[in-house]
């Protein structure tokens, strides 16, 4: 039986930790499913550069869910559109399928926790994925994103809280390719 990992908090490094774990598992010869939630359509404006590395590893399958939020003028769209909700639900269903399928050693759901905070689905929806994992999963499951609830933390076997102590963003340093994305 696998473990449920949660990487949460306001600090930088949640996705990076999940990518690192996926690379480690692939390096050990294990199959990995890496699902990204709310990070734009596959084949769209590709600015999440970890995808190039994940795609290059033959044991990692990448599944992307979400609608582009970076607008042509460089601003970020915070409001949710109907397609955002549909993509988040599709991601949850795919994650359940992957957990149930038994073909993966590790299933990562990047930003799945944050989708609760942004109201793309409910805490109960995410906890249902955890229940499916506990009942039928034969892998480890990783959930990342800000705002993990006490109920999710209680359900997890490992919780890492990335604490923001200091960030250069607050001094005017913009997000940098290869570092933040």
Indicate whether 168 belongs to any domain.
no
Indicate whether 13 belongs to any domain.
yes
| pLDDT score for 45 | 58
Residue numbers of the domain that contains 84: 4-163
Indicate whether 170 belongs to any domain.
no
Indicate whether 174 belongs to any domain.
no
Question: Looking at residues 143-150, what average pLDDT do you find?
Answer: 98
Is residue 158 pLDDT above 80, yes or no? Answer: yes
pLDDT in tens, 12-35: 999 999 999 999 999 999 999 999
CA atoms of 98 and 95, how far apart (whole Å): 5
pLDDT in tens, 33-81: 999 999 876 555 567 778 889 999 999 999 999 988 877 777 878 899 9
Indicate whether 108 belongs to any domain.
yes
Q: How far apart are the first and last CA of the chain?
A: 33
Indicate whether 135 belongs to any domain.
yes
Question: Looking at residues 130-152, what average pLDDT do you find?
Answer: 97
CATH number for the domain that contains residue 71: 3.40.50.300
Which residues pair with residue 76 across a beta bridge?
A: 70
Indicate whether 178 belongs to any domain.
no
Is residue 107 pLDDT above 60, yes or no? Answer: yes
Count of domains observed in the chain: 1
Indicate whether 176 belongs to any domain.
no
In the β-sheet with 60-64, what is the strand arrangement from edge to edge?
Answer: 60-64, 32-36, 106-110, 140-144, 4-8, 158-161
Write down the mean pLDDT value for the chain.
92
Buried b / exposed e across 61-95, counting CB within 10 Å, b at 16+?
bbbbbbbebeeeeeeeeeebeeebeebbeebbebb
pTM for the whole thing? 0.91
Q: Looking up tokens 């249902």, which residue turns up?
A: 128
């Amino acid at each position: 039986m696998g473990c449920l990992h949660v990487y949460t908090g306001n600090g930088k490094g949640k996705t990076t930790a999940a990518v690192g774990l996926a690379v480690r598992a692939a390096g050990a010869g294990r199959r990995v499913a890496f699902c990204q939630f709310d990070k734009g359509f596959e084949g769209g404006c590709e600015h999440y550069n970890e995808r190039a590395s994940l795609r290059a590893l033959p044991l990692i399958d990448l599944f992307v869910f979400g609608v582009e939020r970076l607008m042509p003028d460089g601003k970020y769209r915070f409001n949710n559109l109907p397609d955002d909700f549909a993509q988040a639900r599709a991601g949850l269903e795919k994650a359940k399928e992957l957990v149930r399928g038994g073909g993966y050693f590790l299933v990562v759901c990047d930003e799945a926790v944050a989708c609760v905070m942004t109201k793309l689905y409910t805490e109960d929806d995410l906890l249902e994925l955890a229940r499916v994992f506990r009942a039928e999963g034969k892998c480890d499951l990783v959930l990342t994103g800000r705002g993990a609830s006490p109920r999710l933390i209680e359900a997890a076997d490992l919780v890492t809280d990335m604490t923001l102590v200091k960030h250069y963003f607050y001094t005017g340093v913009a997000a940098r390719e290869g570092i933040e994305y």
